[in-house]
């Protein structure tokens, strides 16, 4: 599998990065790995921790606290690390924009090697010894938009090649990292093309066979025992539980879960993450309910092209998820803010196609204290008393953007399926195209003239469960967040469906099922 990957030394600055790290390891310097608190950050940190340990070193580890320190390198923490005797910091999944912290490290005699995948800051590159980043403006990598874990894996590969480790032993070790690479690659939603496709396909296979006690315990607690592990498993089972720790503040339990080889510690950590995830879901549901209520009031009083909602003490670890849910429900850019005791409103924004939320915030920056992000998502901070003016300004900006823009919701099928074509032969062909995800979406099929076999019902949080039939064939279908389609299927009239073909596994049984995307009355 590794033969399908490009040489890691094709990444800019890989050689000086590897030289500096190996020099540190050979001379016994104290090294710190500086990570991040999301799934990609935690998995990439685990990759480098295991690599350093395999090479005979025990690195110090820093993962910033989400609320006390925020994302990325923190100058105060850099000073603390330097005082502990660290002479080399290696970042993972962060560092490209850390100009001030890396400048401070240099003043303190601490070298920094950056491994990251985020875009460069407008002010330029930080004064690091080396910057390994496939998305560098001055040295873009042609073979895939790697995530943090992908970059960490390439760095590990380069370290082992340069350290002259026996090829068979080094290959076995690298193959043992692929389950971690799959976590970051799928969870961070990078395009599953080029090298990412290779890493995701083989990484998911490794994840299916993982021997990591922490991941096995986490899957057991989630009720996923003896089932296929695919992108949805990462996205909806493993990812939320690993993220729960960071969303609640401290991501170190998630890192320890990935690294532990102790069954007892694994069980305890998995139980803790399961509990944190339940708490996270409850907090998210409460804030979503409050946000929906405020959104309905706001739109009823003064219909606008964006939603800006906020509440006292709303948990900053879930406001991004809630913003995404509002965007999906109302089909407008949404901003969700938590207001603290000092009158600061902090939160996240999510957008819709055709509306660059970062440009929108830039147009309204006179009302903001800080902001950052990209076209689809952003973070921001402002004074709570500036909220009314900010809401007016961004709605006015959005009105100008959306004027004349066709925002009709169109779902396009890749092809139409006849009922007789739906079966395991088709599913096996689809499996050869996997993994599906960002940049390689699952095919969408049009199936005409189906009718509900049983009365449809709502399950969970507005999910539509039904069984449909056509031309003698019947199939179960689940439409996540598609409860609004229930009325269509309560009549005996035929309907046309837009679906994915999925496999439902339960109690050792596998059944083909429709993933319902949309429906309309048949013509």
Q: Does 392 share its domain with 471?
A: no
**For residue 290, is it within any domain?**
no
Q: Does 389 share its domain with 480?
A: no
Q: Is the predicted pLDDT of residue 314 greater than 70, yes or no? A: yes
Using only the alpha carbons of the chain, give its radius of gyration.
Answer: 24
**For residue 268, is it within any domain?**
no
Residues making up the chain, counted from first to last: 523
Q: Does 471 share its domain with 390?
A: no
Task: Write down the mean pLDDT value for the chain.
Answer: 90
CA atoms of 358 and 364, how far apart (whole Å): 10
CA atoms of 161 and 18, how far apart (whole Å): 10
Q: Which of 123, 158, 177 is the last residue of a domain?
A: 177
CA atoms of 230 and 108, how far apart (whole Å): 45
**What's the domain range around 17?**
2-177
**For residue 368, is it within any domain?**
yes
**Number of domains making up the chain:** 3
Q: Does 6 share its domain with 155?
A: yes
Nearest to 435 by CA among 199, 231, 150: 231
CA atoms of 182 and 191, how far apart (whole Å): 13
Q: Does 359 share its domain with 507?
A: no
**For residue 56, is it within any domain?**
yes
Q: Does 317 share its domain with 432?
A: no
Lowest mean pLDDT among 191-195, 217-221, 341-345, 458-462: 458-462
Determine if the peptide bond prior to 273 is cis (ω within 30°): no
Q: Is the predicted pLDDT of residue 322 greater than 80, yes or no? A: yes
Q: What is the CATH number of the domain that holds 440?
A: 2.40.50.460
Lowest mean pLDDT among 238-242, 259-263, 299-303, 339-343: 299-303
The average pLDDT across 36-60 equals: 96
β pairing state of 445-452 and 495-506: antiparallel
Q: Give residue-wise pLDDT tens across range 15-41.
A: 999 999 999 999 999 999 999 999 999
Q: Does 462 share its domain with 504?
A: yes
What is the per-residue pLDDT for 40? 94
Q: Give residue-wise pLDDT tens across range 431-457.
A: 888 888 888 888 999 999 999 988 889
What is the per-residue pLDDT for 440? 86
Q: Give residue-wise pLDDT tens across range 225-248.
A: 767 888 889 998 999 999 999 888
What is the per-residue pLDDT for 509? 79
What is the per-residue pLDDT for 431? 87
Q: Is the predicted pLDDT of residue 409 greater than 90, yes or no? A: no
Q: Does 75 share its domain with 125?
A: yes
Query: Is 413:498 a contact under the CB 8 Å cutoff?
Result: yes
460 CB-near residues (< 8 Å, 6+ apart): none
What is the per-residue pLDDT for 145? 86
Q: Does 24 share its domain with 46?
A: yes
pLDDT band at 401 (very low <50, low <70, confident <90, very high): confident
Nearest to 235 by CA among 275, 198, 192: 192
Q: Which of 371, 402, 433 is the last residue of a domain?
A: 402
Q: Is the predicted pLDDT of residue 113 greater than 90, yes or no? A: yes
Q: Is the predicted pLDDT of residue 268 greater than 90, yes or no? A: yes
pLDDT band at 303 (very low <50, low <70, confident <90, very high): low
Cα dihedral sign, 165-169-175-179: negative
Q: Is the predicted pLDDT of residue 122 greater than 90, yes or no? A: no
DSSP letters along 430-454, please? HHHHPPPBTTBPPP-EEEEEEEESS
**For residue 261, is it within any domain?**
no
Q: Does 31 share its domain with 92?
A: yes
Q: Give residue-wise pLDDT tens across range 123-162.
A: 788 999 999 999 888 877 888 789 999 999 999 999 999 9
What is the per-residue pLDDT for 2? 66
**For residue 296, is it within any domain?**
no
Query: Model pTM?
Result: 0.86
What is the per-residue pLDDT for 406? 63
57 CB-near residues (< 8 Å, 6+ apart): 25, 31
Percentage of the chain surpassing pLDDT 70? 97
Q: What is the CATH number of the domain that holds 129?
A: 3.90.1640.30
Q: Is the predicted pLDDT of residue 523 greater than 70, yes or no? A: yes
Query: Is 482:497 a contact under the CB 8 Å cutoff?
Result: no
Q: Which residue pairs from 385-390 have beta carbons closer than 8 angstroms and sit at least 24 positions apart in sequence?
A: 385/343, 386/345, 387/308, 387/310, 387/337, 387/345, 390/308, 390/364
Q: Does 374 share its domain with 452?
A: no
**Quick check: helix, strand or coil at residue 477?**
strand
Lowest mean pLDDT among 281-285, 301-305, 314-318, 508-512: 301-305
Q: Give residue-wise pLDDT tens across range 163-191.
A: 988 889 999 999 999 999 999 999 988 88
pLDDT band at 52 (very low <50, low <70, confident <90, very high): very high
Beta strand extents in 328-376 (DSSP E only): 334-339, 344-350, 370-373
Q: Where are the alpha helices (DSSP H) in 140-262?
A: 148-162, 167-175, 178-187, 195-208, 213-221, 231-233, 239-247, 252-259
Q: Does 38 share its domain with 164?
A: yes
238 CB-near residues (< 8 Å, 6+ apart): 39, 183, 187, 215, 218, 219, 222
Q: Is the predicted pLDDT of residue 405 greater than 70, yes or no? A: no
What is the per-residue pLDDT for 88? 98
**For residue 323, is it within any domain?**
yes
What is the per-residue pLDDT for 196? 92
Q: Is the predicted pLDDT of residue 494 greater than 70, yes or no? A: yes
What is the per-residue pLDDT for 139? 79
């Amino acid at each position: 599998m590794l033969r399908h990957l490009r040489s890691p030394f094709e990444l800019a600055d890989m050689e000086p990065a590897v030289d500096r790290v190996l020099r540190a390891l050979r001379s016994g310097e104290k090294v710190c790995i500086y990570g991040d608190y999301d799934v990609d950050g935690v998995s990439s940190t685990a990759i480098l921790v295991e690599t350093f340990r395999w090479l005979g070193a025990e690195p110090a580890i820093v993962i910033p606290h989400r609320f006390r320190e925020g994302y990325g390198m923190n100058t105060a923490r850099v000073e603390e690390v330097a005082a502990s005797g660290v002479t080399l910091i290696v970042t993972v999944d962060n560092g490209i924009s850390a100009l001030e912290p890396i400048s401070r490290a240099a003043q303190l005699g601490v070298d920094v090697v950056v491994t990251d995948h985020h875009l460069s800051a407008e002010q330029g590159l930080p004064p690091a010894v080396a910057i390994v980043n496939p998305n560098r403006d001055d040295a873009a990598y042609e073979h895939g938009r790697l995530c943090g874990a992908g970059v960490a894996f390439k760095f590990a590969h380069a370290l082992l090649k340069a350290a002259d480790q026996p090829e068979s032993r080094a290959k076995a070790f690298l193959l043992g990292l692929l389950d971690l690479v799959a976590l970051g690659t799928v969870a961070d939603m990078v395009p599953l093309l080029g090298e990412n496709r290779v890493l995701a396909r083989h990484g998911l296979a490794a994840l299916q066979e993982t021997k990591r006690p922490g991941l096995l315990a986490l899957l057991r607690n989630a009720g996923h025992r003896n089932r296929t592990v695919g992108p949805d498993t990462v996205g909806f089972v493993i990812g939320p539980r690993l993220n729960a720790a960071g969303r609640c503040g401290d991501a170190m339990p998630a890192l320890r879960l990935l690294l532990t080889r102790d069954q007892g510690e694994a069980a305890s950590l998995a139980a803790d993450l399961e509990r944190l995830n339940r708490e996270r879901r409850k907090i998210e549901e409460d804030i979503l309910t409050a946000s929906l209520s405020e959104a309905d009031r706001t739109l009823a009083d003064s219909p606008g092209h964006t939603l800006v909602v906020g509440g006292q003490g709303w948990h900053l670890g879930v406001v991004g998820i809630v913003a995404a849910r509002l965007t999906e429900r109302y089909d407008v850019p949404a901003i969700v803010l938590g207001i603290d005791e000092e009158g600061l409103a902090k939160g996240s924004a999510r957008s819709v196609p055709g509306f660059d939320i970062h440009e929108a915030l830039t147009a309204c920056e006179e009302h903001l204290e800080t902001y950052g992000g990209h076209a689809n998502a952003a973070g921001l901070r402002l004074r709570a008393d500036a909220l009314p003016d900010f809401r007016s300004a961004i709605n006015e900006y959005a009105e100008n953007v959306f004027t004349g823009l066709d925002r009709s919701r169109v779902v396009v099928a890749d092809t139409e399926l006849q009922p007789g074509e739906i079966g395991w032969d088709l599913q096996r062909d689809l499996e050869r195209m996997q993994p599906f995800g960002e940049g390689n979406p699952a095919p969408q099929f049009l199936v005409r003239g189906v009718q509900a076999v049983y009365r449809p019902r709502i399950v969970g949080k507005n999910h539509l469960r039904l069984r449909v039939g056509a031309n003698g064939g019947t199939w179960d279908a689940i439409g996540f967040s598609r409860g609004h389609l229930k009325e269509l299927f309560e009549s005996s009239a035929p309907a046309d469906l837009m679906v994915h073909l999925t496999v439902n596994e339960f109690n050792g049984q596998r059944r083909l099922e429709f993933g319902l995307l949309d429906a309309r009355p048949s013509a």
